[in-house]
Amino acid sequence: MAIRRGRGVAAINYPTGMNLGGDPTQALVHSTPTGNFMVTLSSVDLGQGMKQIMAQICAETIGVPTDRVVVDTADTDTGPHCMGTFASRGTHRAGNAVIQAAREARQVMLEVAAEELEVNASDLETDGQGNILVKGAPQRSISIFDVALSAHFKRGRSISGRGMFLIPRSYPEKETGAMKPSTCYAHACTVAEVEVDDETGEVTVLTVKNVFEIGRALNPKMVEQQLVGGSWMGISHALYETTEPYYPNRDHGGTDFNQYLMPGPGDLAQTEIIVLERPSADGPYGAKGPGEMCANPQIPAVANAVFDAVGVRIDTLPITPERILRALKAQAGAPN
Protein backbone atom coordinates (compact mmCIF):
# COMPACT_ATOMS: atom_id res chain seq x y z
CA MET A 1 0.00 0.00 0.00
CA ALA A 2 1.36 3.40 -0.94
CA ILE A 3 0.73 7.05 -1.73
CA ARG A 4 0.76 7.31 -5.50
CA ARG A 5 1.19 10.51 -7.47
CA GLY A 6 -0.40 11.33 -10.80
CA ARG A 7 -0.77 14.19 -13.25
CA GLY A 8 -3.80 14.92 -15.40
CA VAL A 9 -4.43 17.34 -18.26
CA ALA A 10 -7.71 18.60 -19.72
CA ALA A 11 -8.51 21.25 -22.32
CA ILE A 12 -11.90 22.73 -23.16
CA ASN A 13 -13.56 25.40 -25.20
CA TYR A 14 -16.68 27.20 -24.06
CA PRO A 15 -19.27 29.16 -26.06
CA THR A 16 -20.23 32.68 -25.08
CA GLY A 17 -24.02 32.95 -24.96
CA MET A 18 -26.36 30.88 -27.10
CA ASN A 19 -28.17 30.82 -30.42
CA LEU A 20 -31.84 31.32 -29.49
CA GLY A 21 -33.65 34.09 -31.32
CA GLY A 22 -30.47 36.13 -31.62
CA ASP A 23 -29.79 36.01 -27.85
CA PRO A 24 -30.68 39.73 -27.48
CA THR A 25 -29.89 42.16 -24.69
CA GLN A 26 -30.89 45.83 -24.53
CA ALA A 27 -29.42 48.75 -22.59
CA LEU A 28 -30.38 52.35 -21.90
CA VAL A 29 -27.94 55.14 -21.00
CA HIS A 30 -28.83 58.67 -19.94
CA SER A 31 -27.19 61.65 -18.31
CA THR A 32 -28.36 63.30 -15.12
CA PRO A 33 -28.54 67.10 -14.98
CA THR A 34 -25.13 67.12 -13.28
CA GLY A 35 -23.30 65.06 -15.90
CA ASN A 36 -23.31 61.65 -14.29
CA PHE A 37 -24.51 58.73 -16.38
CA MET A 38 -27.04 56.04 -15.57
CA VAL A 39 -26.96 52.65 -17.28
CA THR A 40 -30.24 50.75 -17.08
CA LEU A 41 -30.22 46.97 -17.65
CA SER A 42 -32.31 43.93 -16.85
CA SER A 43 -29.14 41.83 -16.73
CA VAL A 44 -28.50 40.71 -13.15
CA ASP A 45 -25.26 40.95 -11.22
CA LEU A 46 -24.95 37.58 -9.45
CA GLY A 47 -21.72 38.59 -7.74
CA GLN A 48 -19.57 38.17 -10.84
CA GLY A 49 -18.96 41.92 -11.11
CA MET A 50 -21.29 42.83 -13.98
CA LYS A 51 -22.13 46.26 -12.58
CA GLN A 52 -18.46 47.20 -12.38
CA ILE A 53 -17.73 45.99 -15.90
CA MET A 54 -20.77 47.73 -17.40
CA ALA A 55 -19.73 50.96 -15.66
CA GLN A 56 -16.22 50.63 -17.13
CA ILE A 57 -17.57 49.94 -20.63
CA CYS A 58 -19.95 52.89 -20.49
CA ALA A 59 -17.29 55.24 -19.10
CA GLU A 60 -14.75 54.19 -21.74
CA THR A 61 -17.25 54.71 -24.55
CA ILE A 62 -18.52 58.10 -23.42
CA GLY A 63 -15.14 59.33 -22.19
CA VAL A 64 -15.77 59.95 -18.50
CA PRO A 65 -14.29 58.51 -15.28
CA THR A 66 -15.86 55.23 -14.17
CA ASP A 67 -17.05 56.79 -10.93
CA ARG A 68 -19.33 59.04 -12.95
CA VAL A 69 -21.39 56.01 -14.05
CA VAL A 70 -24.10 54.25 -12.05
CA VAL A 71 -25.52 50.91 -13.19
CA ASP A 72 -29.13 50.05 -12.33
CA THR A 73 -30.09 46.45 -13.02
CA ALA A 74 -33.74 47.27 -12.28
CA ASP A 75 -36.04 44.32 -13.05
CA THR A 76 -37.78 42.82 -16.06
CA ASP A 77 -40.84 45.06 -15.59
CA THR A 78 -39.01 48.38 -15.59
CA GLY A 79 -35.76 47.66 -17.42
CA PRO A 80 -35.02 47.00 -21.09
CA HIS A 81 -35.22 43.42 -22.32
CA CYS A 82 -32.52 40.87 -21.53
CA MET A 83 -32.49 37.12 -22.09
CA GLY A 84 -30.89 36.62 -18.67
CA THR A 85 -27.65 36.17 -16.76
CA PHE A 86 -26.48 32.72 -17.79
CA ALA A 87 -24.39 30.98 -20.47
CA SER A 88 -21.44 33.28 -19.68
CA ARG A 89 -23.18 35.91 -21.81
CA GLY A 90 -23.36 38.94 -19.49
CA THR A 91 -20.18 40.83 -20.39
CA HIS A 92 -20.42 40.02 -24.10
CA ARG A 93 -24.11 40.63 -24.74
CA ALA A 94 -24.86 43.42 -22.25
CA GLY A 95 -21.47 45.02 -22.86
CA ASN A 96 -22.16 45.35 -26.58
CA ALA A 97 -25.60 46.82 -25.87
CA VAL A 98 -24.09 49.33 -23.44
CA ILE A 99 -21.52 50.40 -26.04
CA GLN A 100 -24.28 51.11 -28.56
CA ALA A 101 -26.33 53.08 -26.04
CA ALA A 102 -23.31 54.99 -24.75
CA ARG A 103 -22.22 55.95 -28.27
CA GLU A 104 -25.64 57.39 -28.98
CA ALA A 105 -25.62 59.33 -25.70
CA ARG A 106 -22.07 60.55 -26.38
CA GLN A 107 -23.10 61.90 -29.78
CA VAL A 108 -25.90 63.98 -28.25
CA MET A 109 -23.49 65.21 -25.57
CA LEU A 110 -20.99 66.33 -28.21
CA GLU A 111 -23.71 68.05 -30.22
CA VAL A 112 -24.76 70.09 -27.18
CA ALA A 113 -21.12 70.91 -26.40
CA ALA A 114 -20.62 71.98 -30.01
CA GLU A 115 -23.48 74.45 -29.70
CA GLU A 116 -21.96 75.90 -26.55
CA LEU A 117 -18.46 76.16 -28.06
CA GLU A 118 -19.70 77.18 -31.53
CA VAL A 119 -17.82 74.43 -33.36
CA ASN A 120 -18.73 71.22 -35.16
CA ALA A 121 -19.37 68.15 -33.02
CA SER A 122 -16.81 66.24 -35.12
CA ASP A 123 -14.14 68.70 -33.91
CA LEU A 124 -14.57 67.68 -30.26
CA GLU A 125 -13.05 65.00 -28.08
CA THR A 126 -13.23 63.98 -24.43
CA ASP A 127 -10.26 63.87 -22.06
CA GLY A 128 -11.56 61.04 -19.88
CA GLN A 129 -11.61 63.34 -16.86
CA GLY A 130 -15.01 64.94 -17.37
CA ASN A 131 -14.18 67.60 -19.99
CA ILE A 132 -14.84 68.09 -23.69
CA LEU A 133 -12.06 69.74 -25.71
CA VAL A 134 -11.68 71.18 -29.17
CA LYS A 135 -9.22 69.01 -31.08
CA GLY A 136 -5.93 70.84 -31.52
CA ALA A 137 -7.05 73.65 -29.22
CA PRO A 138 -7.45 72.11 -25.76
CA GLN A 139 -7.68 75.54 -24.16
CA ARG A 140 -11.16 75.72 -25.63
CA SER A 141 -13.14 73.30 -23.50
CA ILE A 142 -16.31 72.79 -21.51
CA SER A 143 -17.01 70.44 -18.63
CA ILE A 144 -19.50 67.61 -19.08
CA PHE A 145 -21.20 69.01 -15.98
CA ASP A 146 -21.90 72.26 -17.83
CA VAL A 147 -22.91 70.41 -20.99
CA ALA A 148 -25.49 68.39 -19.03
CA LEU A 149 -26.87 71.54 -17.44
CA SER A 150 -27.16 73.17 -20.85
CA ALA A 151 -28.88 70.13 -22.34
CA HIS A 152 -31.45 69.95 -19.59
CA PHE A 153 -32.19 73.60 -18.94
CA LYS A 154 -31.17 75.52 -22.05
CA ARG A 155 -31.09 73.35 -25.18
CA GLY A 156 -33.94 70.99 -24.38
CA ARG A 157 -31.93 67.88 -25.30
CA SER A 158 -31.90 64.47 -23.68
CA ILE A 159 -28.37 63.11 -23.45
CA SER A 160 -29.43 59.51 -23.78
CA GLY A 161 -29.01 56.44 -25.93
CA ARG A 162 -30.47 53.03 -26.61
CA GLY A 163 -28.56 49.89 -27.44
CA MET A 164 -29.44 46.36 -28.44
CA PHE A 165 -27.07 43.52 -29.25
CA LEU A 166 -28.37 40.71 -31.42
CA ILE A 167 -26.21 37.97 -32.89
CA PRO A 168 -26.86 36.65 -36.41
CA ARG A 169 -28.99 33.55 -36.03
CA SER A 170 -27.47 30.29 -37.24
CA TYR A 171 -29.82 27.73 -38.77
CA PRO A 172 -28.87 24.03 -38.99
CA GLU A 173 -27.95 22.72 -42.41
CA LYS A 174 -30.61 20.28 -43.54
CA GLU A 175 -28.16 17.67 -44.78
CA THR A 176 -25.61 17.64 -41.96
CA GLY A 177 -27.23 19.47 -39.05
CA ALA A 178 -24.13 21.65 -38.80
CA MET A 179 -24.60 25.12 -37.38
CA LYS A 180 -22.73 27.87 -35.54
CA PRO A 181 -24.26 28.12 -32.07
CA SER A 182 -21.96 30.90 -30.86
CA THR A 183 -20.01 33.80 -32.34
CA CYS A 184 -17.00 33.37 -30.05
CA TYR A 185 -15.49 30.77 -27.76
CA ALA A 186 -13.27 30.99 -24.70
CA HIS A 187 -10.64 28.29 -24.08
CA ALA A 188 -8.90 26.74 -21.10
CA CYS A 189 -6.36 24.10 -20.18
CA THR A 190 -5.70 22.69 -16.70
CA VAL A 191 -2.90 20.50 -15.37
CA ALA A 192 -3.64 18.90 -11.99
CA GLU A 193 -1.22 16.99 -9.78
CA VAL A 194 -2.67 14.67 -7.13
CA GLU A 195 -1.68 12.09 -4.56
CA VAL A 196 -3.91 9.05 -4.09
CA ASP A 197 -3.70 6.73 -1.09
CA ASP A 198 -4.38 3.32 -2.63
CA GLU A 199 -5.29 1.90 0.80
CA THR A 200 -7.92 4.49 1.76
CA GLY A 201 -8.80 5.96 -1.65
CA GLU A 202 -8.22 9.48 -0.37
CA VAL A 203 -7.23 12.06 -3.00
CA THR A 204 -5.11 15.12 -2.24
CA VAL A 205 -4.84 17.74 -4.96
CA LEU A 206 -1.34 19.19 -4.76
CA THR A 207 -1.29 21.77 -7.54
CA VAL A 208 -3.64 23.06 -10.19
CA LYS A 209 -2.22 25.09 -13.06
CA ASN A 210 -4.77 26.82 -15.28
CA VAL A 211 -4.43 28.70 -18.55
CA PHE A 212 -7.48 30.65 -19.70
CA GLU A 213 -8.00 32.41 -23.02
CA ILE A 214 -10.83 34.86 -22.40
CA GLY A 215 -10.63 37.44 -25.16
CA ARG A 216 -9.63 40.57 -23.28
CA ALA A 217 -9.60 41.00 -19.50
CA LEU A 218 -11.52 44.24 -19.01
CA ASN A 219 -10.77 44.21 -15.27
CA PRO A 220 -7.71 41.97 -14.75
CA LYS A 221 -7.98 41.72 -10.96
CA MET A 222 -11.65 40.75 -11.07
CA VAL A 223 -10.89 38.20 -13.78
CA GLU A 224 -8.13 36.69 -11.64
CA GLN A 225 -10.43 36.44 -8.63
CA GLN A 226 -13.14 34.76 -10.66
CA LEU A 227 -10.74 32.30 -12.25
CA VAL A 228 -9.12 31.32 -8.94
CA GLY A 229 -12.50 30.89 -7.27
CA GLY A 230 -13.74 28.90 -10.24
CA SER A 231 -10.72 26.63 -10.09
CA TRP A 232 -11.45 25.84 -6.44
CA MET A 233 -15.10 25.22 -7.33
CA GLY A 234 -13.99 22.77 -10.03
CA ILE A 235 -11.94 20.81 -7.48
CA SER A 236 -14.96 20.79 -5.18
CA HIS A 237 -17.19 19.40 -7.94
CA ALA A 238 -14.59 16.77 -8.81
CA LEU A 239 -13.99 15.38 -5.32
CA TYR A 240 -16.62 16.54 -2.84
CA GLU A 241 -20.00 17.96 -3.79
CA THR A 242 -23.14 15.89 -4.22
CA THR A 243 -26.68 15.90 -2.87
CA GLU A 244 -27.33 12.34 -4.06
CA PRO A 245 -24.37 10.08 -3.18
CA TYR A 246 -26.25 6.96 -4.33
CA TYR A 247 -28.50 8.50 -6.99
CA PRO A 248 -31.24 7.60 -7.83
CA ASN A 249 -31.46 6.14 -4.32
CA ARG A 250 -31.99 9.02 -1.87
CA ASP A 251 -30.28 7.24 1.03
CA HIS A 252 -27.55 9.17 2.84
CA GLY A 253 -28.23 12.40 0.95
CA GLY A 254 -27.49 15.59 2.85
CA THR A 255 -30.44 17.44 4.32
CA ASP A 256 -28.79 20.83 4.90
CA PHE A 257 -25.49 22.62 4.42
CA ASN A 258 -24.13 21.14 7.64
CA GLN A 259 -24.15 17.79 5.84
CA TYR A 260 -23.11 19.10 2.42
CA LEU A 261 -19.48 18.23 1.84
CA MET A 262 -17.23 20.98 0.48
CA PRO A 263 -13.49 21.58 0.79
CA GLY A 264 -12.22 23.93 3.46
CA PRO A 265 -9.22 26.26 3.18
CA GLY A 266 -6.86 23.45 4.13
CA ASP A 267 -8.13 21.26 1.29
CA LEU A 268 -7.47 23.74 -1.50
CA ALA A 269 -4.57 23.15 -3.80
CA GLN A 270 -1.80 25.52 -4.77
CA THR A 271 -3.36 27.32 -7.72
CA GLU A 272 -1.74 29.09 -10.64
CA ILE A 273 -3.64 31.20 -13.16
CA ILE A 274 -2.36 32.38 -16.52
CA VAL A 275 -4.59 34.59 -18.67
CA LEU A 276 -4.12 34.71 -22.43
CA GLU A 277 -5.72 37.69 -24.15
CA ARG A 278 -6.89 37.10 -27.72
CA PRO A 279 -9.53 39.81 -28.28
CA SER A 280 -12.81 38.67 -29.80
CA ALA A 281 -13.81 40.42 -33.01
CA ASP A 282 -17.39 40.94 -31.82
CA GLY A 283 -16.75 41.31 -28.08
CA PRO A 284 -17.06 44.59 -26.17
CA TYR A 285 -13.49 45.89 -26.35
CA GLY A 286 -12.53 42.31 -27.22
CA ALA A 287 -14.04 40.53 -24.20
CA LYS A 288 -15.50 37.02 -24.13
CA GLY A 289 -17.31 35.25 -21.30
CA PRO A 290 -15.10 33.45 -18.73
CA GLY A 291 -17.87 32.93 -16.16
CA GLU A 292 -18.85 29.25 -16.17
CA MET A 293 -15.82 27.96 -18.02
CA CYS A 294 -13.51 28.69 -15.10
CA ALA A 295 -14.83 25.71 -13.07
CA ASN A 296 -14.91 23.15 -15.89
CA PRO A 297 -11.44 21.90 -16.90
CA GLN A 298 -10.36 21.03 -13.36
CA ILE A 299 -12.89 18.17 -13.20
CA PRO A 300 -11.52 16.04 -16.07
CA ALA A 301 -7.97 17.08 -15.16
CA VAL A 302 -8.40 15.66 -11.64
CA ALA A 303 -10.07 12.53 -13.02
CA ASN A 304 -7.16 12.02 -15.42
CA ALA A 305 -4.67 12.59 -12.62
CA VAL A 306 -6.35 9.92 -10.48
CA PHE A 307 -6.16 7.53 -13.43
CA ASP A 308 -2.49 8.36 -13.92
CA ALA A 309 -1.84 7.71 -10.22
CA VAL A 310 -3.66 4.40 -9.65
CA GLY A 311 -4.78 3.23 -13.08
CA VAL A 312 -8.55 3.28 -12.56
CA ARG A 313 -10.97 5.44 -14.48
CA ILE A 314 -13.72 7.03 -12.36
CA ASP A 315 -16.51 8.36 -14.56
CA THR A 316 -19.03 9.32 -11.86
CA LEU A 317 -18.77 12.47 -9.79
CA PRO A 318 -17.68 13.13 -7.17
CA ILE A 319 -14.55 10.97 -7.22
CA THR A 320 -14.89 9.67 -3.67
CA PRO A 321 -12.52 7.34 -1.81
CA GLU A 322 -15.25 4.68 -1.89
CA ARG A 323 -15.48 4.78 -5.68
CA ILE A 324 -11.71 4.62 -6.04
CA LEU A 325 -11.44 1.62 -3.70
CA ARG A 326 -14.28 -0.19 -5.50
CA ALA A 327 -12.54 0.44 -8.84
CA LEU A 328 -9.21 -0.81 -7.47
CA LYS A 329 -10.86 -3.98 -6.13
CA ALA A 330 -12.58 -4.56 -9.45
CA GLN A 331 -9.28 -4.08 -11.25
CA ALA A 332 -7.67 -6.67 -8.99
CA GLY A 333 -10.57 -9.08 -9.50
CA ALA A 334 -11.67 -8.89 -5.87
CA PRO A 335 -15.42 -8.77 -5.06
CA ASN A 336 -16.85 -5.39 -4.01
User: What's the rounded Cα separation, in Å, for the pair 323 and 336?
Assistant: 10
User: What's the rounded Cα separation, in Å, for the pair 47 and 36?
Assistant: 24
Contacts of 174 (CB under 8 A, 6+ apart): none
- Please count the other Cβ atoms lying within 10 Å of the Cβ belonging to residue 2: 10
The DSSP output letter for 294 is: G
**Which of these is catalytic: 175, 277, 292, 322?**
292
Phi-psi region for residue 285, left (φ > 0), alpha (ψ -120 to 50) or beta?
left
- Please count the other Cβ atoms lying within 10 Å of the Cβ belonging to residue 208: 26
Cite the beta strand spans of the chain per DSSP E: 3-15, 25-31, 37-40, 69-72, 124-126, 131-134, 137-143, 160-165, 185-197, 203-213, 270-276
Phi/psi for 281 (5° steps) reads -65, -30
CA distances in angstroms from 309 to 2, 207, 304, listed in the order given: 11, 14, 9
- Please count the other Cβ atoms lying within 10 Å of the Cβ belonging to residue 42: 22
User: What's the rounded Cα separation, in Å, for the pair 47 and 291?
Assistant: 11
Whether 115 is catalytic: no
- Biggest alpha carbon–alpha carbon distance for the chain: 90
**What is the set of active-site residues?**
292
